[in-house]
């Protein structure tokens, strides 16, 4: 679909896929952090273990959103043109 505008329906699929996979990735990052002993919400303080846990949640969410974008680009082409 190079050179053509993407329909609203296709772009809605991208948005929903990014939202869902962002949440799945963040949950997987949280689970991995718990398995490794990095609880983002463990104590009330921000020490090294909590910050690593927060980073794992962020990395998981970002990876999920990027995975959705890769899926969309492979199926419909780049939405930016």
pLDDT tens for each residue of 19-50: 999 999 999 999 999 999 999 988 778 899 99
| Residue for token pair 């990052």 | 29
- Secondary structure class of 3 (helix, strand, coil): coil
pTM of the predicted protein model: 0.86
**54-80 pLDDT per residue, tens:** 999 999 999 999 999 999 999 999 988
DSSP of 31-67: HHHHHHT--TTSSSS--HHHHHHHHHHHHHHHHHHHH
Which residues have C-beta within 8 Å of that of residue 68, sequence separation ≥ 6? 14, 17, 18, 20, 21, 22
């Amino acid at each position: 679909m190079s050179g053509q505008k993407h329909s609203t329906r296709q772009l809605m699929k991208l948005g929903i896929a990014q939202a869902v996979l962002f949440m799945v990735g963040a949950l997987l990052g949280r689970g991995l952090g718990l398995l490794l002993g990095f609880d983002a919400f463990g104590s009330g303080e921000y020490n090294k273990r909590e910050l690593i846990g927060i980073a794992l949640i962020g990395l998981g969410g970002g990876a999920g959103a990027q995975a959705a974008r890769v899926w969309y680009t492979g199926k419909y082409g780049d939405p930016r043109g």
